[in-house]
Amino acid sequence: MTARTQPARPQPSAIEGLDRLELGSLPVGSDSGRRLRKAWTAVWPKLLAIALILVIWQIVHLTGWKSYVLKGPGAVLSDLWHQMQHGLLWQAIGITLRRAVMGYALALVIGSIVGVLVARIPLLRAGVGSIITGLQTMPSIVWFPVGIVLFGLSTATILFVMVLGAAPSIANGLMTGVDYTPPLLLRAGQTMGLRGFALYRYLILPASLPAYVAGMKQGWAFAWRSLMAGELLVLILGQPSLGVLLNNNQNLQDFAGVTSIMIVILVIGILVDMVFNKIDAFIRRRRGLLNPGTAG
Amino acid sequence: MSVTHWQKTPPEQDPGASALSRPGLASADEIAVSLTDVSKVYGRGNSALLALDKVSLTAGRGEFVCLIGASGCGKSTLLSLVAGLDEPTAGTIATPGGRVTLMFQEPALFPWLTASRNVELALRARGVPRSQRADRVAELLETVHLGGFGDKRPHELSGGMRQRVALARALAQDADVLLMDEPFGALDAMTRDLLHDELERICSGRTLTVLFVTHNVREAVRLGDRVIVLSSRPGRVIEEYQVPRRGPRRIDSVEVAELASQITDRLREEMSRHDS
């Protein structure tokens, strides 16, 4: 058997038996070259996919199908580049993202509080548990009429709909996590003397974190959709959001402009999703739940 | 030093007081755990299952008692009852020995915490002030020979090492009675041997009463001061063996083998009675 570098062990005599063999499989350490290669293997399939999409898009454009609406990638990308030179796009992105953060933060707070309360209190759970699941499947856009009556054509209406779209998923994720806390760990916590608040703080909440994050991720998807729907329905004067730009470009029959804004919306969605995936992978790696093949 | 007799006394309201008044014992101090006619029924009606049937046993302070029996003898149920995780259907359980803690076949460590943090949490749950915790954790990890592994998370440790962390965590609870539910059952024989030595060393350094459940006869004889044999379905105490203590034993020594084969024969007899 070849010698392997192993972590420093102050009392090597203590770790014997088959323990010693098992330890050999511990990760040894990483050098920057390998990290770079790893990053490349994660990136190149994505670049390839983008290139493929551009090629197909160009081919469709060349066939001339609905050419009035469907602009080619060249026209759209140059329009996008052009818009990026102007403050308006960035102002719109700023306003939209501010709403996204506000609405999502609100949904996070409300969803978490509701989730903990429902998980904690059996009576609430019996009454409200299935309603929350039902709300989750309801398209949040149906809340707009109510929102407009309550708050008028304002940012509050958009936030209202975002919260109703996202909070049920977040609450549901947390409730699922609490339910799936391994019974063995609960028994261990009980014998340790963890009770009441401490039991939640040190055992149940950390144990439910993976399901909670999954719920947060799903909640973000709902919040982002609700926000886009809201910005198309609730146009507020003097607040150029991405929805407003989309609407304006449509009214001006500028379909290259419409497509550029759609690309911006898609890219923001992808970037936020990547952040959630990173958080998820981090949590899973710390708990030894990450398969080597599913990383990235 | 050990209390060799277990007795069947009628259930009483205050078992602590009854231990005091028992003629055979000098004082209540000597008994750490006592079960009196403990029965446990799961379910009700036709599907009711009698898991334990009038089990009476005691463990003296500082004594190492092994409970052995085929699967289905209610060993784990018994420990859950003593740990207070479950209520007996009938009978009384008293633990005048003080704080009780339970160790499982799986380490049951919290996977989001490092080894140190897992041990620390037990101290925190007990209300040990923050300033003392770090030192206590280091000391406990040294005790189980994991001095350099405090920063590792459970999934980075081997099965045997995880069980050592679980042992350190159990010791951190500063319990007087340690209940062990086949704690080494999932480990390979070599690792198990080493952990036997360590458990013996750790127990010899403190007054720890241990109830150790296993289905491995040699393990029971290797570790126990006394071995109690339980029958299956329902669990009853059928036999009790005092293990002659002559210093540290090895699992492959002659005395261990002799007593083990005697107990194995008794268990076989019990099992064949069931099969017929």
C-beta separation of B199 from B167 below 8 A: yes
Residues of B with Cβ-Cβ distance to A188 under 8 angstroms: 104, 108-110
Instruction: Return d(Cα B180, Cα B137) in angstroms, integer.
Output: 21
CA A191 to the chain's CA centroid = 37
Which residues 115-144 of chain B have a CB within 8 Å of chain A? 121-122, 124-126
Contact B190 A288 (CB under 8 A): no
Who's near B153: CB < 8 A, 6+ residues apart? A286, A287, A288, B111, B112, B113, B114, B115
Q: How many CB atoms lie within 10 A of CB B204?
A: 11
pLDDT tens digits, residue range A206-236? 999 999 999 999 999 999 999 999 999 888 8
Question: Which chain B residue has the Cα nearest residue A188?
Answer: B108
For residues A238-249, give the mean pLDDT.
90
Touching check for A183 and chain B: CB below 8 Å? Answer: no
Touching check for A291 and chain B: CB below 8 Å? Answer: no
Distance (Å) from the C-alpha of residue A81 to the closest C-alpha of chain B? 45
Contact B158 A22 (CB under 8 A): yes
Percent of chain A with pLDDT over 90: 52
Q: Which pLDDT score is estimated for B72?
A: 65
Contact A14 B102 (CB under 8 A): no
Contact B155 A23 (CB under 8 A): no
Touching check for A184 and chain B: CB below 8 Å? Answer: yes
Residues of A with Cβ-Cβ distance to B147 under 8 angstroms: 10-11
Contact A187 B108 (CB under 8 A): yes
Contact B158 A202 (CB under 8 A): no
Residues of B with Cβ-Cβ distance to A287 under 8 angstroms: 111-112, 153, 155
Q: Report the complex ipTM.
A: 0.78
A203 vs B110, B155, B156: nearest CB: B110
Instruction: Return d(Cα B67, Cα B83) in angstroms, integer.
Output: 15
| A–B interface: beta-carbon pairs under 8 A | 94
Question: Which chain A residue has the Cα nearest residue B100?
Answer: A191
Who has greater pLDDT, A91 or B96?
A91
Question: Which chain B residue has the Cα nearest residue A204?
Answer: B110
pLDDT tens digits, residue range B38-88? 888 888 777 788 888 888 888 888 889 999 887 766 788 888 889 888 888
Q: Look up the pTM and report it.
A: 0.77
Q: Determine the angle formed by the axes of helices A87-120 and A122-137, rounding to 10 degrees.
A: 150
Residues of chain B with pLDDT under 70: 1-29, 72-73, 245-252, 274-276
Pick the residue of B145, B162, B198 with the most A CBs within 10 A to test the interface with A by mutation. B145
Q: Which pLDDT score is estimated for A30?
A: 56
pLDDT tens digits, residue range A9-47? 444 445 555 665 556 554 545 567 888 888 888 888 889
Contact B160 A18 (CB under 8 A): yes
Instruction: Give me the residue label for tokens 């994720």.
Output: A173
pLDDT band per the 50, 70, 90 thresholds, residue A3: very low
Question: Which chain B residue has the Cα nearest residue A182?
Answer: B108
Instruction: Return d(Cα B152, Cα B115) in angstroms, integer.
Output: 6
Touching check for A206 and chain B: CB below 8 Å? Answer: yes
Touching check for A196 and chain B: CB below 8 Å? Answer: no
Instruction: Return d(Cα B63, Cα B61) in angstroms, integer.
Output: 5
Contact A187 B104 (CB under 8 A): yes
Who's near B136: CB < 8 A, 6+ residues apart? B123, B128, B172
Percent of chain A with pLDDT over 70: 88
Instruction: Return d(Cα A35, Cα A284) in angstroms, integer.
Output: 19
pLDDT tens digits, residue range B198-224? 888 888 878 888 999 988 888 888 888
Touching check for B146 and chain A: CB below 8 Å? Answer: yes
Q: What is the residue-averaged pLDDT of chain A?
A: 86
Nearest 5°: phi and psi at A206? -60, -35
Distance (Å) from the C-alpha of residue A285 to the closest C-alpha of chain B? 10
Contact A16 B161 (CB under 8 A): no
Contact B158 A9 (CB under 8 A): no
